[in-house]
Amino acid sequence: MTLDWSVVWTHRDALVEATGTTILLAAATMAIALPCGACIAALIALPIIWFLRQRLPLFCWIIDGVLLAAYFIVSSRAAFDLYFHDIYVPFSIRDLIFWVWTTLTIPLLWLTIRLR
């Protein structure tokens, strides 16, 4: 069986257009998914933080401080591999700690300022 690669050159305009559409759709999807994911994570964390803030006022700030310290202590070389539809994405544990810290800190600051 032989493959005729001249088809690619014959229809290269359609291939370039389809590639551009694919990249545009991927960028648009991520532009929507990342902020929405962050909002959902904050909405999930808010009742937990609210409950802990009411019962143990300093406990949330201690967890927040430990996460911040861990962010500075953990090496950025400690990473794990993520694959999204066969696309390799290196993601460090330090980045994960940063996102968890951010998700905890924003509602915690809002609740602290609001309750004073």
* Average pLDDT of span 82-99: 76
pTM of the model: 0.49
Q: Confirm whether 5 is domain-assigned.
A: no
Q: What is the DSSP letter of 2?
A: -
Helices and strands in the chain: count of H runs, count of E runs: 4, 2
Higher pLDDT, 79 or 24: 24
Mean pLDDT of the chain: 81
Q: What is the mean pLDDT of residues 83-98?
A: 76
Amino acid at 58: L
Residue 66 has pLDDT above 90, yes or no: no
Amino acid present at 17:
E
In a domain, 72, yes or no: yes
pLDDT classification of 16: cutoffs 50, 70, 90 = very high
Tell me how many domains the chain contains.
1
Task: Determine, yes or no, domain membership for 91.
Answer: yes
**18 within some domain:** yes
Rounded Cα–Cα distance for residues 85 and 90 (Å): 14
Instruction: Give the mean pLDDT of 35-42.
Output: 79
